[in-house]
Amino acid sequence: MRTLTPGYGRDYTSALKAKQDYLAGMDFILRDISDPYDGKLCGKADFKGEAVLLRYNKMRRSTVVTA
């Protein structure tokens, strides 16, 4: 499962808002040191059918979403 954080300095206070923006195609940043694309912008289109872990609330909370 890949871990994503909001792009462009965004942050969310609720899991619902983070999921809505991910599903709407907003940009997130891939956070996986074993992946060559670590730190790059990505979105829902890059992970079709995959479950991803979205970090939010200053990276203290997380939620899982499948596109």
The pLDDT of residue 63 is above 90: yes
Instruction: Using the Cα atoms of residue 66, residue 55, residue 42 and residue 10 in order, give the sign of their dihedral.
Output: positive
Tokens of 9: 């300095």
Other C-beta atoms lying within 10 Å of the C-beta of residue 49: 6
- pLDDT score at 54: 98
**Full domain range(s) for residue 58:** 2-66
The pLDDT of residue 67 is above 90: no
Cα–Cα distances in angstroms (integers) from residue 48 to residues 8, 14, 58, in the given order: 22, 23, 26
Domain count, the chain: 1
pTM beyond 0.85, yes or no: yes
Q: What is the pLDDT of residues 5-58, one digit of tens each?
A: 999 999 999 999 999 999 999 999 999 999 999 999 999 999 999 999 999 999
| CA pair distance 11, 24, nearest whole angstrom | 16
